[in-house]
Amino acid sequence: WGKKHVPIYVIPKLEYQLSYGIEALSESEICLLWTEGLLNSNAWFYIGHIDVFTSKLTLVDQFPALSVAERFGSFNPLNSLNILHHILKKVLSLSEGRYLLSHSSGDSSMTIYRNVQGGKFTRAAYNLHAAHSTLPPTPSTLSVPWVPLDPNILLPYHVHHSRVPCTFPPMSSDNLQNQKRGVAKTNRRVPVQRKAVAMETKSHSPPAQPSGNEGVAPKKKNKGKRANRNKRWKAKKKLKKAQSVKAQ
């Protein structure tokens, strides 16, 4: 029996965030894998993840061409084929000549430029030499887009330290112990506060407000003695009045 030859496709991929995980495949890389999968449906893909800071091979990811669709994400090949069909249809309708296709990111339209001999043109001109004669400016650090990570790929570092991909490094043991102590202290106070709130909410009426005379000794009341004095004074007055009448 002869050995069966299986075509393979190797893709090197530079990794800039290995301390957090493996970067997800870009749309151009997914499109490349999808195209190769159409040409060789029984092929195997090998993606070599290389640390950009040490130039060492960190991980080799291998999978068959039939499972490329699982890595598509938001990529839809039908939309891309539909756009390509309209572009080719438009280009075939043009007359013979040299053309340049231009497309801006995020724009659904496309611009077609035609090579003009003798410098004669009827519409807006695009000078390739003037536009691309100098080197492009160096991009700033803020203009570099952030590449998302793939949370489904585990590195040996994650397995050894029992860490989840795409997460920040854990806190040190000293900070963790201090945090646990602080949580324990707060937990001791929480039941007291809850108990106080529960006691207040049992009564339907609001708690009594302290008055302004709180802490001052109450005044003594002598209403009974005053009434007796008035009665005695009135009785003496009547008695004197009766004695004066008899004397007359």
| Tens digits of residue pLDDT in 52-73 | 999 999 899 999 988 888 887 7
* Whether the model pTM is above 0.85: no
Write down the pLDDT at residue 68. 83
- Check pLDDT > 50 for residue 198: no
Mean pLDDT of 25-39: 88
Quote the CA–CA distance of 101 and 110 in Å, as a whole number: 7
Enumerate the β-bridge partners of residue 224: none
E strand map for the chain: 8-15, 22-23, 44-51, 57-64, 99-102, 111-114, 149-150
Residue ranges of domains in the chain:
1-75+143-185
Q: Cα–Cα distance between 21 and 155 in angstroms, integer?
A: 7
* 140-168 pLDDT, tens digit each: 766 667 888 988 888 888 888 888 888 88
